[in-house]
Amino acid sequence: MSNEEQKDLPKGVVLKEHSYDGIQEYDQRLPRWWLLTLYGAIIFSAVFFMIDKYYSGSESSSERVESELRQINAIRLASSIDVSDNEMYWEMSQISTFTESGEKLFQSTCSACHGANLEGGIGFNLVDGEWIHGAAPSEIYQTIYDGVPNTGMQAWGTTLGQKRITEIVAFILSKNDETSMRASAAQEQ
Ligand code: HEC
């Protein structure tokens, strides 16, 4: 445009030749700080992408959602224990939070008599499919809670409490075959 307009501009600023409805463009290199921000953002996004991918492993976002749902379900189960609800134990037996802590308790409190692999010894075998005092999970819970009078099987209710015993039952179930246990429990009725 005209040289007069160029004079009004800050020092060092050049305008492009063309004009769109009287609007003109600067014709300048982008400032260094601006370019650095742009390149910095590009590098950051690439690095961030790699770190994110690396740390989340091969887990896809749907797997992550699923594992979080499992966590929520575990919390729901733990906060609403109904010891007469057989389905609750079966659900718990699928969740490692419960079976792992049940296993620890079993190994420290029960394995001396029932064996490290539940194969029995002084106490009954707990994986042979035979349930003298009932095969339903709620009956197993009750056997552990109340014990069996005049045998080596003491009442664990006051020592261990409700929550720990449900975890132990969940662990015992996880070592048994669900279909045949459900069948034996149904036969008892
Ligand atoms: C001092 C040994 C001893 C310890 C420790 C012990 N038990 Fe027992 N348990 C027995 C004996 C003996 C029996 C068999 C009772 C009977 O004669 O009916 C038994 C029976 C059982 C039964 C019934 C099995 C069935 O066929 O119905 C279950 C379930 C059981 N125990 C679980 C446990 C759990 C869980 C623990 C740990 C908290 C535990 N026991 C600790 C000795 C023990």
What tens digit of pLDDT does each residue of 12-37 get? 788 888 888 888 888 888 889 999 99
Q: 9: how many CB neighbours lie within 10 A of its CB? A: 12
Across the chain, mean pLDDT equals 90
- Residue 5 pLDDT greater than 80, yes or no: no
Tell how far the Cα of 177 is from the centroid of ligand 1, in angstroms. Answer: 19
- Residue 114 pLDDT greater than 60, yes or no: yes
**CA geometry: angle at 92 spanning 86 and 97, to 5°?**
160
Tell how far the Cα of 158 is from the centroid of ligand 1, in angstroms. Answer: 16
- Residue 58 pLDDT greater than 80, yes or no: no
Across the range 159-188, mean pLDDT stands at 96
pLDDT band at 61 (very low <50, low <70, confident <90, very high): confident
- pTM of the shown model: 0.73
Tell how far the Cα of 106 is from the centroid of ligand 1, in angstroms. Answer: 11
Round to whole Å and give the CA distance between 42 and 32.
15
Tell how far the Cα of 162 is from the centroid of ligand 1, in angstroms. Answer: 17
122 CA: nearest ligand 1 atom: 12
Tell how far the Cα of 79 is from the centroid of ligand 1, in angstroms. Answer: 27
pLDDT band at 126 (very low <50, low <70, confident <90, very high): very high
Ligand 1 binding pocket includes 152 (Cβ within 6 Å):
yes
Ligand 1 binding pocket includes 144 (Cβ within 6 Å):
yes
185 contacts 86 by C-beta, under 8 angstroms: yes
Ligand 1 binding pocket includes 148 (Cβ within 6 Å):
yes
The tokens describing 18, both together, are: 């063309």
pLDDT band at 48 (very low <50, low <70, confident <90, very high): very high
Pocket test residue of 83, 101, 113, 162 for ligand 1, highest count of atoms within 8 A of CB: 113
